[in-house]
Structure 1
Amino acid sequence: MATISKVETFMVDLKPKVKRVDAIQSFVSQETPFVVITDSEGKQGIGYSYTIGQGGGAIMSLLSETLLPQLIGREAEEIDRIWRDLLFSTHATAVGAITSLALAAIDTALWDLRCKRAGLPLFRMLGGAKESVPMYTTEGGWLHIETEDLVADALGAQAKGFSGSKVKIGKPHLAEDYARLSAVREAVGPNYEIMVDANQSLTRAEATRRAHMLEKLNIAWFEEPLPADDVLEHVGLAQSSTVPIAVGESMYSLSQFKDYLVAGGASIVQVDVARIGGITPWMKVAHLAEAHNVPVCPHFLMELHVSLVCAIPNAPWLEYIPQLDSLTKTPMKMENGRAFASLEPGLGIDWDFDAIEAAKIEQHSATFGG
Structure 2
Amino acid sequence: MAKIRSIEIRFVDLQPTVKRTDAIQSFVSQETPIVTIIDEDGASGTGYTYTIGTGGTAVMRLLVDNLAPVLIGTDAAMVEARWRQLKMFTHATTPGAITALALAAIDTALWDLRCRKAGLPLHVMAGGAQERVPVYTTEGGWLHIATEAMIEDTLAAKARGFRGAKVKIGKPDPKEDVARLEAVRAAVGDGFEIFTDANQAFRVDEAIRRARLLEPLDIGWLEEPLVSDDIEGHVRLSNATTLPVAVGESIYSAATFREYLARGACSIVQVDVARIGGITPWLKVAHLAETFNIAVCPHFLMELHVSLCAAVPNARWVEYIPQLDPITREGMRIEAGAAIPSPAPGLGIDWDWDAIARVAVADPVTIQ
TM-score w.r.t. the length of structure 1 is 0.99
* The 10-residue stretch of structure 1 (183-192 or 11-20) with the greater mean CA deviation from structure 2: 183-192
* The 10-residue stretch of structure 1 (34-43 or 157-166) with the greater mean CA deviation from structure 2: 157-166
1:288 equivalent in alignment to 2:284? no
- Equivalent residue for 1:79? 79
Matched to 1:87, the amino acid is: K
1:367 equivalent in alignment to 2:348? no
Alignment of 1:240-319 (within 5 A): 240-319=240-319
CA distance in 2, matches of 1:266, 1:296: 11
| CA shift for structure 1 position 160 | 1.3
Matched to 2:256, the amino acid is: Q
DSSP-derived class of the 2:296 partner: coil
- Please list the CA deviations of residues 322-343 of structure 1 after superposition, one character each: whole Å capped at 9, or x if unmatched: 0010001111111122110000
CA distance in 1, matches of 2:212, 2:333: 38
- Equivalent residue for 1:13? 13
1:42 equivalent in alignment to 2:49? no
For structure 2, the residue ranges without an aligned partner over 5 or more in a row are none
Matched to 1:348, the amino acid is: G
For structure 1, the residue ranges without an aligned partner over 5 or more in a row are none
DSSP-derived class of the 1:47 partner: strand
| CA shift for structure 1 position 82 | 0.7
CA distance in 1, matches of 2:214, 2:308: 30
| CA shift for structure 1 position 156 | 1.1
Matched to 1:102, the amino acid is: A
- Equivalent residue for 2:327? 327
DSSP-derived class of the 1:92 partner: helix
- Equivalent residue for 2:225? 225
DSSP-derived class of the 1:208 partner: helix
CA distance in 2, matches of 1:46, 1:156: 34
CA distance in 2, matches of 1:94, 1:350: 31
| CA shift for structure 1 position 174 | 0.8
Percent identical residues: 61
| CA shift for structure 1 position 169 | 0.1
| CA shift for structure 1 position 360 | 1.1
- Equivalent residue for 1:205? 205
1:94 equivalent in alignment to 2:106? no
DSSP-derived class of the 1:362 partner: coil
- Please list the CA deviations of residues 260-315 of structure 1 after superposition, one character each: whole Å capped at 9, or x if unmatched: 00000110000000000000000000000000000000000000000000000000
Matched to 1:265, the amino acid is: A
Return structure 1 stretches of 4+ with deviation > 6 angstroms. Answer: none
Matched to 1:367, the amino acid is: T
- Please list the CA deviations of residues 225-255 of structure 1 after superposition, one character each: whole Å capped at 9, or x if unmatched: 0000000000110011110000000000010
DSSP-derived class of the 1:246 partner: strand
- Equivalent residue for 2:148? 148
Matched to 1:368, the amino acid is: I
| CA shift for structure 1 position 190 | 2.1
Matched to 1:260, the amino acid is: Y
- Equivalent residue for 2:25? 25
- Equivalent residue for 2:53? 53
- Please list the CA deviations of residues 87-132 of structure 1 after superposition, one character each: whole Å capped at 9, or x if unmatched: 1111111110000000000000000000000000000001111111
Matched to 1:90, the amino acid is: T
| CA shift for structure 1 position 214 | 1.2
- Equivalent residue for 1:164? 164
DSSP-derived class of the 2:37 partner: strand
Matched to 2:358, the amino acid is: A
CA distance in 2, matches of 1:67, 1:175: 49
CA distance in 1, matches of 2:282, 2:77: 18
CA distance in 1, matches of 2:343, 2:244: 33
DSSP-derived class of the 2:53 partner: coil
Query: How large is the RMSD of aligned CA atoms in angstroms?
Result: 0.7
DSSP-derived class of the 1:354 partner: helix
Matched to 2:310, the amino acid is: C
DSSP-derived class of the 2:290 partner: helix
